[in-house]
Amino acid sequence: MTNPSIAFVASDTAQAKVARAALQSQYKHVSPSKADVVVAIGGDGFMLETLHRFMKRGVPIFGLNQGSVGFLMNEASDGDLIDRVAAAESVTLHPLQMTVKTGSGKTRRAIAVNEVSLLRETYQAAKIRITVDKVVRLDELVCDGILISTPAGSSAYNLSAHGPILPISAEVLALTPISAFRPRRWRGAILPRGAQVRFDILEVEKRPVSAVADHTEVRNVISVDVREDVETGLQLLFDPEHDLEERILNEQFAT
């Protein structure tokens, strides 16, 4: 990408705001609605917000880490930013589409870049039936919850729930239980990216469950359908020496 027009957006932290002001004084910039590239300054949480914010535009996002983890971000180094953006490698992510039916009969839809998670709402464990491509794979999972993760999100909540880290090019999804009680030995599954997954909540009155797509929560759900949104592509830009594939590989050998 040669001489792209750049917009700077930053999280609410003082550190990120100071970094944005410094970059805006150093580089010519435009409003986000006119930019060829958006530079997101903050941490992974802010990157997630930025991807949702500009999802319909499809504009590439180049992250600069001013947060704590920065798995989806580039280092905030002193190198020439224009040259870095021009030389950056692009990774295309496809989010998940969540369709929820609630106890009140309503249907809600939301998009998840990281994961869709189902979580118990009370002290009692949830009971969930899992269907993949119209075949019931698990009649009853007794658990605190379950999640289905994209490769980009596999190092977030999915990893904390002891799910596998997925290479970004693997074209698979991670289905991971959260504190499974029965069947006790079930540790989840790796599904092809085209899989259509359905969760039916059992004993909905006694054991209510909420569904969360990134930061969108729907409570008292009856069923949740999840599939990859192949029509939506999100572009992340990475410095060649710090691409997402390498970060995912490194994370699998972290001690």
- 96-228 to CATH, choices 1.20.120.1780, 3.60.40.10, 3.90.1150.10, 2.60.200.30: 2.60.200.30
pLDDT score at 77: 79
pLDDT < 50 positions in the chain = none
Q: Which of 44, 214, 225, 243 is labelled catalytic?
A: 44
Across the beta sheet with 221-228, what order do the strands follow?
107-112, 96-102, 221-228, 197-202, 126-132, 135-143
Class of the CATH domain delimited by 6-94+233-251: alpha beta
pLDDT digits (tens, 9 = 90+) for 25-47: 999 999 999 999 999 999 988 99
Model confidence pLDDT, tens digit, residues 173-206:
999 999 999 998 899 999 999 999 999 999 999 9
CATH 2.60.200.30 intervals, the chain: 96-228
Q: Delimit the CATH 3.40.50.10330 region(s) of the chain.
A: 6-94+233-251
pTM of the predicted model over 0.75: yes
Terminal-to-terminal C-alpha distance of the chain = 37
**Cis bond upstream, residue 60 (ω within 30):** no
Handedness of CA 37, 38, 42, 48 (dihedral sign): negative
78 annotated active-site: no
